[in-house]
Amino acid sequence: MRPTHFRRALQLLAVATCSAFATVGIGQSAPSDPPVRGEPALINPIAPSGPASAGPVLPGAPGSNTLPLGKAFERPSAGISVRPPAGWTAIVEPDREELVRFVDRLDNPAKGQRTDWSLSLIRRSFPKPQHLLQTQVEKDFKKVWEPGIVENTLAALNEQLPGAKILRGGDPTNIGKYDVGMIVMRYTKNGERRLAQHAIIEANPRLYFLLSFNSPGRKDVAEDDRNEEKTVDPTESQAVATFRSIIDSVQLLDLEKIKADQDARLFRTRGLFVNLDGRALNSKLIPQQFMRIIRDGKDIGYSYVVERPDVDPKGGNDGISIDVRSRLMTEINAAGQVLPFPREESEASMFTTLDRRVENWTKMIVFDDGKPKDAKNPWKKLNEVGATQFEQRRVLAADPKVPGKQFQIGENGDPNNPWVNVRESYSLKVEFFGGKANLEPVVRPLPPFYLPQALVSMLPRLIPPNEQKGYMVATYVGDLRQVMARYIDVEAETATPSVISGSSGKLRAIPIRDRIGYEGAPTLHWVTNKGEYLGSTIESTKTSIVPTDEPTIRRIWSIPDGERVFDKIREAAPATVPARGGRPGPTTPSPTGSLPRDLRPNGN
């Protein structure tokens, strides 16, 4: 057997390290050859004669001890809906295989604390069809049993949790017309006995969901040691009954409408990109602008932005550069006053050619607590360096000398020249520097609808404001270190929020709804019917970004005219950054990491 099969299965396995809960990933199917040294054998596999329980089935049935379920939690883009126990908190991290994790957090332990219960939902798609349960396949002219996702997941669980007691080892069931494989096990983690219930749901041969319920396990060791347990543990009984109710609540949603919407958006995005030529982009540049950052009615920071034409020195192609300097105060005291420290200082320099094929950027963030810096209290900083690379290469498509392909003449009608195709590749690499340990670089292939960082900052001004249409682009999201889909919708003109109308005098404007991921929290960018930017509002965080001028910033933050609006960033880690055009070039910032001259207001 090839070792990579089980390695792929184990790569899909994830067991949480904390004692409160464990989350398990779905194992990929692999041939049922004898295991290679160092790889796990299948534990309690289903016999070829038919499915059988790998251990005693846990007692417990739906009844009065079942936790009541709350409203359905839907992820339309993932194609699933599930009802968690009522009152549980949903934790969602975008662009992860784990779609959501529910935890029960009760403030009053006297009312029944269950902070160590959790429910997790994972989505996993495969490039090739997989088997849910083991099945017979033809191999070397004979039929053999090939394990499915359930069996490989069970094997990986046994490897990760040695000594676990398997209570159900792959029992098949169903949700409507969809097949489900059940795994239930009891294990010890950090000295605590836990019960883990897993339902692997087959949406189709290439798409599976894993629903995992983790709760406290039986503490009666003597009873746990028996193969046939004679008593029922009340906590486990409640967990089993609740999980059955949760499984019954699962609904698989139709993804066709979402796919059709994405296709329509990408078609419009193609037309948008065609119109974003050099003349259009340069006409949108704003040489200098200040921004107020407001949260819940209070100014918490500001930024200064410079946009200018630039040139790629490597290829000589025209482009644009955008430099941003920002300061953000992160703490408000009990009296509602924004404290000067701690604060976050950042600088960013972004470049892209007008054809978007060459991009590079550097970003630096420094966290300042306002205290003297020494070995015990060092600077906390992070540098991000990114670049894209677009390549075209010629590859041999067919050899004219091969029988049957002589009709494929070569270049310029010469049959002696090889028949070649031109292939394109578009990729992104992001590196990180700073702190005690550098993060792993991010390397990603890019789709043709990728939008460089410099253009992302201009996005509200690049969208036609008078056409109520939807678009979709791909952008790099630094907070998540992922390339993600970004949905843009131009809506009808409406009244602006007071934070927008108060600063600009405009009462009505066009909102452009911008969200990362299909279910992401939206940001509303407000523009005039001529595309003039008025500001942005983020309802989920009650944050607004509003254009302003330097005197207003000085007045709000009591900055005397003789002082700079921004202090120098006092320390920056040396890093190798890509020069224009993606070429690496060493740069050693000065000890003060001073602001670029064209980012210094009033020439300071």
pLDDT in tens, 543-556: 999 999 999 999 99
Query: Residue 298: is its pLDDT beyond 90?
Result: yes
Query: Residue 18: is its pLDDT beyond 60?
Result: no
Round the average pLDDT of the chain to a whole number and report it: 79
Query: Residue 557: is its pLDDT beyond 60?
Result: yes
Angle (nearest 5°) at CA 175 between 172 and 176: 120
Query: Residue 271: is its pLDDT beyond 50?
Result: yes
- Secondary structure of residue 459 in the 3-state scheme: helix
The residue-averaged pLDDT of 294-305 equals 95
More confident residue, 46 or 224: 224
Strand (E) or helix (H) holding 186: strand 178-189
What integer pLDDT is reported at residue 584 of this predicted model?
A: 38
Rounded CA-CA distance 291/272 in Å is 27
Query: Residue 594: is its pLDDT beyond 50?
Result: no
What integer pLDDT is reported at residue 510 of this predicted model?
A: 96
Structural domains of the chain, ranges and CATH numbers in brackets: 3-37+60-252 (3.40.1000.10), 264-603 (no CATH)
What integer pLDDT is reported at residue 596 of this predicted model?
A: 43
Rounded CA-CA distance 421/417 in Å is 13
Query: Residue 1: is its pLDDT beyond 80?
Result: no
pLDDT digits (tens, 9 = 90+) for 399-425: 556 665 555 555 555 656 666 777 788
What integer pLDDT is reported at residue 3 of this predicted model?
A: 34
Min mean pLDDT across 277-286, 391-400, 500-509 is at 391-400
What integer pLDDT is reported at residue 35 of this predicted model?
A: 29
Query: Residue 397: is its pLDDT beyond 80?
Result: no
Rounded CA-CA distance 201/210 in Å is 6
The residue-averaged pLDDT of 70-78 equals 91
What integer pLDDT is reported at residue 546 of this predicted model?
A: 95
Strand (E) or helix (H) holding 171: strand 165-175
Spatial CB neighbours of 413, under 8 Å, sequence gap ≥ 6: none
The residue-averaged pLDDT of 501-511 equals 81
- Secondary structure of residue 572 in the 3-state scheme: coil
pLDDT digits (tens, 9 = 90+) for 364-387: 999 989 898 888 888 888 899 999
Global pTM value: 0.74
What integer pLDDT is reported at residue 210 of this predicted model?
A: 95
What integer pLDDT is reported at residue 373 of this predicted model?
A: 85
High-pLDDT (> 70) share of the chain, %:
75
The residue-averaged pLDDT of 280-298 equals 94
pLDDT digits (tens, 9 = 90+) for 578-593: 444 443 333 333 322 3
What integer pLDDT is reported at residue 422 of this predicted model?
A: 77
What integer pLDDT is reported at residue 503 of this predicted model?
A: 58
